[in-house]
Structure 1
């Protein structure tokens, strides 16, 4: 699949809130399998790793 990832930064009381979303077309097989798989488990680690470098840069 080809998806677009969007990162949105907004001010928060104690720092910055980061919202990371992934959107795109989903083939039929993915729609059928979606209820059986936890997407946080599948890609959550990748999202967390992707936030490590921006966090370090922002805190400098």
Structure 2
């Protein structure tokens, strides 16, 4: 009986630790993806500003 409870507790603890590390990995992945997206968006805005200053297209 105690062996089943200990294995269940260790399984839940391992699940919690594994879920935590998976959450950290997913968070870092999304953070990197967001930074790349942000850089691409900044480049698009910069291009639009240069075209606007040159008298080109007025919409982004």
**Looking at both structures, which has the greater relative contact order when contacts are Cα pairs under 8 Å and sequence separation is at least 6?**
1
Q: Give TM-score, length-normalised by structure 2.
A: 0.34
Q: Identify the structure with the greater helix proportion.
A: 2
